[in-house]
Amino acid sequence: MPIVSTQHMDVAAGSLPTHQLLNVDGKRIPDEELDHHLKDLKEADLADFLRDMVVLRRMDNEATALQRQGQLGLWAPLLGQEAAQIGSVRATEDDDFIFPSYREHGVAWARGVQAEDLLSVWRGAQASGWDPNEVNIACQQIVIGSQALHAAGYGMGIKFDGGKQVSVAYFGDGATSQGDVSEAMVFAASYQAPVLFFCQNNQWAISEPVTLQSRTHIADRAHGFGLKTWRVDGNDILAVYAATKAALAHARHGLGPTFIEAVTYRMGSHTTADDPSRYRKAEQLEEWKAKDPIDRLVKYLHEMGADVQSYEQRAQNAADEMAAKLRAAITSMEDPKVEELFSNVYAEPHEPTQRAERNYLNYLADFEGGE
C-alpha cells in the first residue's frame, strides 16, 4: 500500500470559486466581481497582450534551443504559462516591486529586462543580469519559496514608510509546501502588509502532482491565513488581469495582503534537465494543449471582429526581431573571468572572501603549471 495517495478527493466542496472570464472557445463569460476591473481595457491592449505572449513563447523556445546547443547551462521553460505571467504583470504599477522565482521570465521581460540579460544568468555569465532597482524586479530566486519572505519584508517596509506600492511575490504550487511561504503569509497577515502572493499552479512540482501536495485547493490554504484570495483560470488572460487588479487595489488601500492561485499547466519540462514523459501521461498534456492561452485570446479577438491577422503579424515580427537579437547576443557573449566569481559577494572588502579568491587563483595557477 502506498504511503501517500493521489486518489480523487472532492477538493471543490466548500472551496473558493474559480473565476473564468474567457472559456476555451474564446467566449466571454460575465463575472460580477471582476468585470469592472476590465473596463479600461481597449482592443489595442488585448493586441499588446497577444504580442507579449507570442514574444514570450518565442523567447522560451529559443532559450530551450540554445540550451540544447550548449549555449546555456540550464533553462526552466514556461510553455503554457504565458497568460498567467503577462496578465498579472501588466496589471501592476511601475513602482510595485516584484520578487520572482526562476520561471518568471515573462514577468521580468515585461518589466523591461532584456532577453539577453535574462539568459546571461542561465549561461553562467552573470550572477544577475540586471539592476533590480532600475526595473523594480529582484533577481530570479532559485531557492524554492524564499522570495516570499523577501516580499513580505519589503511589504512591511512599504507600510512603515506609508507608501502606496505593493510588493508582489511569484512562486509555483510546489513552493506552497515550503515553510518560507507559510511564514511569509503569517508575517504579511500579522502586519497587514501590502503584499500580493501570486501562485502559478502549473500542476507539477518537478515530478510530483499538486494533488499529492495539497488536500485542498492551494487558494484555500491562503484563505486560512486570513488573506483575501482569488482562484482563477490561469490560461485566461482576462481573468488573471482582472483578479490581479482586484488584489493590488485591495492591498494598496491598506486592507492587507492578498493571494491569487492561477490554475495553469506547465506544458514543457520542469527544466531542460528533466524528462516529463517519465511521470505524466500524454493524454493530460493533450487536454491542456486544448486550453492554450494564446489560442484562446486569438479566438476572443475574432469574436470581437478585430483585425486578428494584422495583430498576429505584428506579434510575429516582434518575436522574430527579439529572437535574432537574443541569439546573436548569447552566441557572442564572452565567458566571465575567474576573478569575477568572488565579485559582489559583499558590498565592502571581506578578508575571508579575498583569501578564498587568492587561494583559488593559486590553485588554478599550480594546475595550469603542471600541464
Question: Is 223 a catalytic site residue?
Answer: no
Cell of residue 46, nine digits:
488585448
Residue whose entry in the numeric block shows the C-alpha cell 510530483: 208
User: Which is catalytic among the residues 51, 270, 296, 327?
Assistant: 270
Q: Would you state the cell numbers that stand for residue 177, as one nine-digit string?
A: 509546501
- Per DSSP bridges, beta strands 208-209 and 204-205 are antiparallel
Q: Which residue in 51, 90, 266, 296 is the catalytic one?
A: 266
CB 234 within 8 A of CB 88: no
Catalytic residue check, 270: yes
Q: How far apart are CA 360 and CA 362, in angstroms?
A: 5
Burial class for 208, CB neighbours closer than 10 Å (0-12, 13-18, 19+)? middle
266 as an active site residue: the answer is: yes
Q: Cα–Cα distance between 334 and 120 in angstroms, integer?
A: 10
Task: Choose, from 36, 68, 215, 279, the residue flagged as catalytic.
Answer: 279
In SS3 terms, the chain reads as CCCCCCCCCCCCCCCCCEECCECCCCCECCCCCCHHHHCCCCHHHHHHHHHHHHHHHHHHHHHHHHHHCCCCCCCCCCCCCHHHHHHHHCCCCCCCEEECECCCHHHHHHCCCCHHHHHHHHHCCCCCCCCHHHHCECCCECCCCHHHHHHHHHHHHHHHHCCCCCEEEEEEHHHHHCHHHHHHHHHHHHCCCCEEEEEEECCEECCEEHHHHCCCCHHHHHHHCCCEEEEEECCCHHHHHHHHHHHHHHHHCCCCCEEEEEECCCCCCCCCCCCHHHCCCHHHHHHHHCCCHHHHHHHHHHHHCCCHHHHHHHHHHHHHHHHHHHHHHHHCCCCCCHHHHHCCCCCCCCHHHHHHHHHHHHHHHHHHHCC
Residues labelled catalytic: 266, 270, 279
